[in-house]
Amino acid sequence: MSKAPTSFLHRSDFPHVFTMEDGKRFNSSRFCKIWKKAVDSAGITYVTSYSARHSFAAWSLIVGINPLRLVKLMGHASKQMVYEVYGNNDPPAEPEVLRLLAPQRGLTAIG
C-alpha cells in the first residue's frame, strides 16, 4: 500500500464531513430533534445527549474501564481530560456499583 486510498474523498458532493440526510450541515439544533425522537421512541425518560454522554463516561470509570480506552471512545485528547471532567465520583461508589450490577450478571451482591 504505497498510496493512500482516495475513494473516500469523493463520496459526497456536500462540503461537510457529517451531514443530515438532506445534505445540510449537521448542527446541534437539528441533532437535538433527532435525539428527542430517539429517546421518545425508546420509551425512556428524557435526558440531554450531553447528560447521556457524561453518564456513560462516569459509569465507565466507576466500573473500571481502561481510561485510555475511554479517551478513544470519547474522542478526548488525554486521560487527564477524562479524569478532570468525569472522574469526580466518590471512590466508595464501587461497592454500590457491584451491588447494582450483580443481579444482572447472575452474581450474588456483596454488602
Instruction: Indicate whether 34 and 52 sit together in one domain.
Output: no
Q: Is residue 31 domain-resident? A: yes
Q: Is the pTM of this model over 0.85?
A: no
Predicted local distance difference test score (pLDDT) of residue 24: 76
Contacts of 111 (CB under 8 A, 6+ apart): 95, 98, 99
Instruction: Indicate whether 37 and 27 sit together in one domain.
Output: yes
Domain holding 82, by residue range, is 48-111
pLDDT in tens, 2-45: 555 555 455 556 566 667 777 777 777 888 888 899 999 999 99
Q: Count the domains in the chain.
A: 2
**What are the helix (H) ranges across the chain?**
28-42, 49-62, 67-74, 79-86, 93-101
Q: Is residue 99 domain-resident? A: yes
pLDDT in tens, 56-104: 888 888 778 888 888 888 888 888 888 888 877 655 456 666 677 666 5
Q: Is 86 buried (19+), middle (13-18) or exposed (0-12) by CB count in 10 A?
A: buried
Q: Is residue 40 domain-resident? A: yes
Alpha carbons 68 and 25: distance in angstroms, whole number: 31
Predicted local distance difference test score (pLDDT) of residue 60: 85
Instruction: Indicate whether 68 and 94 sit together in one domain.
Output: yes
